[in-house]
Structure 1
Amino acid sequence: MVFGQGRQTMPKCLQLGSTATPDLCCNPMLSFPVDFMGRGFLLMLLLIALPAAAQIYKYTDANGNTAYSNQPPDGVKAQPVELPPLNSVEPLTPIAPAPPADATDREQPRSAYEVLELTGLPTTEALRANNGTFTVNVLIKPRLQGPHLFRLLLDDQPYGQPSNVPILQLVNIDRGSHSLAVQVIDGESIVQQSPSVTFTVQRVHKP
């Protein structure tokens, strides 16, 4: 690539629309005087035309101009140029959505009542009920809320009619061992259930 006196003509390989092979690829010695184009643009062209591992050399030509080449010129003192690394953008790795938490790990809803239990049933001795009829009490804190009702659960089966009164009656219960719990219900939904109490009914028949 040569520039004469007077008007400088852009090489054919650098003209827009030219199909000529660029001098950057054809010339074994790749050099440009700095007064033809800016140093930054020149280095950019060199980076585009050369492999990433190519070394660039800086030297002073016969006209006293600073020039750059991809090979050290013969008989001229050349200085290697440290090129800044090319900026590259790493592709973003998509983040997979976190798997849904297991049902066991989900926060359990707080109980509506701090205390819910049955009282009035003997647990260390038999319950004497000649005709199998007796009553139990419900201890509940705070007090029963408006739409809620009590319902007994005898031997794991609903027993009797739901009520909002904390005193519940059982009638004609067979003798033997039974389990009893109380539920707080809201319509068909169970709001809360007390621990089960195991007791024994003893019926005495009169002669």
Structure 2
Amino acid sequence: MGRGFLFILLLIALPAAAQIYKYTDAAGNTAYSNQPPDGVKAQPVELPPLNSVERQAPPAPPAEASSREQPRSAYEVLELTNLPTTEALRANNGTFTVNVLIKPRLQGPHLFRLLLDDQPYGQPSNVPILQLVNIDRGTHSLAVQVIDGEDIVQQSPTVTFTVQRVHKP
């Protein structure tokens, strides 16, 4: 698998390293191509290097300051929305979406993870609209966690809701 992946990566990178040529076509227009045309004087174009930014870890807070401060939440608001709590959620196939209200926005490496009936549900994601599929009828609890790898950064309050699935004959 490793060699195949490396081969595919090299194939993708080759076009990025290809030479670009500038020439004047028969109509007098300036044109660019990755291959010099036959019978036309083409000049190689020197492209500037690509920009790149290395990700830097934020500096660690001094040990003294962190021990004196009270622990606080990373996010001011973290809650699930788009779930009825006073009436049943009608989802005939058990599929529905929930929204995550979060302030400030989700930070860099953090992801959302749903907890359905106190168990992780689905794959962690950075999208604040999460879909649940084929949920059984009945009463369930749902919460969302913000995670950083395996660490839980913060968890929303748990919402209890009821799924109603009506089957038509």
TM-score, scaled to structure 1 = 0.49
Change (3 A) 1:53 1:116: closer
The runs of at least 4 aligned residues of structure 1 exceeding 2 Å deviation read 37-94, 97-108
Quote the Cα distance in structure 2 between the aligned partners of 1:38 and 1:205.
48
Deviation at 1:206, TM superposition (A): 1.5
Deviation at 1:109, TM superposition (A): 1.1
Deviation at 1:122, TM superposition (A): 0.2
Quote the Cα distance in structure 1 between the aligned partners of 2:72 and 2:133.
34
When Rg is computed on C-alpha atoms for both structures, the one with the higher figure is 1
Deviation at 1:103, TM superposition (A): 17
Change (3 A) 1:137 1:102: same
Change (3 A) 1:200 1:114: same
Root mean square deviation, CA, Å: 28.3
Deviation at 1:200, TM superposition (A): 0.1
Deviation at 1:197, TM superposition (A): 0.2
Change (3 A) 1:167 1:68: closer
Instruction: Report which of the two has the higher share of strand.
Output: 2
Quote the Cα distance in structure 2 between the aligned partners of 1:51 and 1:170.
41
Correspondences of 1:60-71 after superposition (within 5 Å)? none
Quote the Cα distance in structure 1 between the aligned partners of 2:112 and 2:90.
24
Quote the Cα distance in structure 2 between the aligned partners of 1:98 and 1:123.
41
Residue ranges of structure 1 left out of the alignment (5+ in a row): 1-36
TM-score, scaled to structure 2 = 0.59
Question: Which whole-Å deviations, capped at 9, do the CAs of 1:81-116 have from their partners, x for residues lacking one?
Answer: 99999999999999xx99999999996411000000
- In the alignment, which of 94, 109, 125 is matched to residue 71 of structure 2? 109
Deviation at 1:73, TM superposition (A): 137
Matched, 1:194 2:156: yes
Deviation at 1:161, TM superposition (A): 0.4
Change (3 A) 1:71 1:39: farther
Higher relative contact order (Cα pairs below 8 Å, separated by 6+ residues): 2
Give the 3-state SS of the residue equivalent to 2:27 in structure 1.
coil
Quote the Cα distance in structure 1 between the aligned partners of 2:94 and 2:9.
104
Deviation at 1:51, TM superposition (A): 106
Change (3 A) 1:185 1:78: closer
Quote the Cα distance in structure 2 between the aligned partners of 1:130 and 1:68.
56
Q: How many pairs are equivalent? A: 169
